């Protein structure tokens, strides 16, 4: 099946620094990629949707200047958490979808810890 | 607005028992997709099934089966003869089909933590 690779799987960073998370579709063209955030023992909440070559669409309440999303190619999207703070510590997971109506394939997730 | 409710927060059953995970959804769209995902302790989401709103046939895949009933807006998931490896958090999700470049986003339920006791 389709594979989506997310890197890194775990990252610890100091408060105030920026962290970049990559999401790659390995064997299909991902027209659309989604970024989700999951707080401990809670559900996944959609942060933003990005289409290749376009600006990301952010969900209400998500700071676009803090969570920078780039989707420069059909196989790569990046999420940069800028000026990270401890409250940004969370599990971030991306998904990629090909054709309309197809299932979303998820990456392995990135556990971010800001100290 | 769309919403997915998984009323069961945690379930524990003894191995080999059958267990049903409930999912109730709300949507105003006539065309939509329903999903189930498994999230083991490692964190990744494992796709289990996708069902579109026009297909109410129940589905069986090995020990897994799904019961989709539009009349009650439910999409329940049953595991028969449960095994320890089934222990995970299970999410039900809804996608409202949109026409703009497949730009569909998933609305997840809060998940059900299933523990299979050996």
Q: How confident is the model at residue A41 (pLDDT cuts 50, 70, 90)?
A: confident
Buried b / exposed e across A48-76, counting CB within 10 Å, b at 16+? bbbbbeeebebeeebeeeebbbebeebbb
DSSP chain B: --EEE---SEEEEETT--EEE--EEE-S-SSEEEEEEEE-TT---EEEEEEETT----EEETTEEEEEEGGGTEEEEEESS--GGG-EEEEEEEEE--SSTT---EEE---EEEEEE-
Coil, strand or helix at A83: coil
The predicted structure's pLDDT at residue B106: 83
Weakest-pLDDT range from A36-45, A101-110, B3-12: A101-110
CA distance A93 to chain B (A): 8
Residue B100 has pLDDT above 50, yes or no: no
The predicted structure's pLDDT at residue B101: 37
Percent of chain B having pLDDT more than 90? 64
Can you say whether residue A41 is alpha, beta or left, with left for phi > 0 and alpha for psi between -120 and 50 degrees? left
Distances (CA, A) of B75 to A24, A100, B45, B58: 31, 21, 19, 10
Residue B99 has pLDDT above 80, yes or no: no
The predicted structure's pLDDT at residue B57: 84
CA distance B91 to chain A (A): 8
* CB contact (8 A) between residue B102 and residue A46: no
> Rg of chain B over CA atoms, in angstroms?
14
Question: Mind listing the pLDDT tens digit for each residue in A57-94?
Answer: 999 999 999 999 998 888 999 999 999 999 999 999 99
- Please give the interface size between A and B, counted as residue pairs whose CB atoms are below 8 Å apart: 71
What would the mean pLDDT of A46-59 be, rounded to a whole number? 89
CB contacts, 8 Å: B103 with chain A: 32, 49, 51, 57
Question: How many angstroms separate the CA atoms of A84 and A13, rounded?
Answer: 8
Weakest-pLDDT range from A21-25, B42-46, B114-118: B42-46
CB contacts, 8 Å: B98 with chain A: 100
* Interface mutation target, options B36, B45, B52, B94, chain A, most CBs of A under 10 Å: B45
Phi, psi of A61 (to 5 degrees): 90, -5
* CB contact (8 A) between residue A100 and residue B102: yes
The predicted structure's pLDDT at residue B62: 94
Question: Mind listing the pLDDT tens digit for each residue in A94-107?
Answer: 998 877 656 678 89
CB contacts, 8 Å: B99 with chain A: 100
Task: Name which residue leads in pLDDT, A72 or A13.
Answer: A13
């Amino acid at each position: 099946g389709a594979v989506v690779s997310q890197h890194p799987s775990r990252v610890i960073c100091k408060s105030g620094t920026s962290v970049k998370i990559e999401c790659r579709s390995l064997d299909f063209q991902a027209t659309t990629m989604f970024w989700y955030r999951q707080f401990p023992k809670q559900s996944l909440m959609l942060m933003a949707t990005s289409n290749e070559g376009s600006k990301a669409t952010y969900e209400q309440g998500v700071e676009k200047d803090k969570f920078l999303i780039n989707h420069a190619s059909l196989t790569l999207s990046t999420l940069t958490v800028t000026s990270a703070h401890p409250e940004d510590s969370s599990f971030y997971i991306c998904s990629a979808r090909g054709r309309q109506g197809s299932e979303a394939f998820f990456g392995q997730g990135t556990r971010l810890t800001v100290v | 607005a769309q919403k997915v409710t998984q009323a069961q927060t945690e379930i524990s059953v003894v191995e080999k028992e059958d267990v049903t995970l409930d999912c109730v959804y709300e949507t105003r769209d006539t065309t939509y997709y329903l999903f189930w995902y498994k999230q083991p302790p490692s964190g990744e989401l494992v796709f289990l099934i996708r069902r579109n709103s026009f297909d109410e046939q129940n589905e069986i895949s090995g020990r897994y089966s799904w019961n989709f009933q539009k009349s009650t807006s439910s999409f329940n998931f049953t595991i028969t003869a449960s095994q320890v490896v089934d222990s995970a958090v299970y999410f039900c999700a809804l996608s409202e089909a949109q026409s703009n470049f497949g730009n569909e986003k998933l609305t997840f339920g809060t998940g059900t933590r299933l523990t299979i006791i050996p």
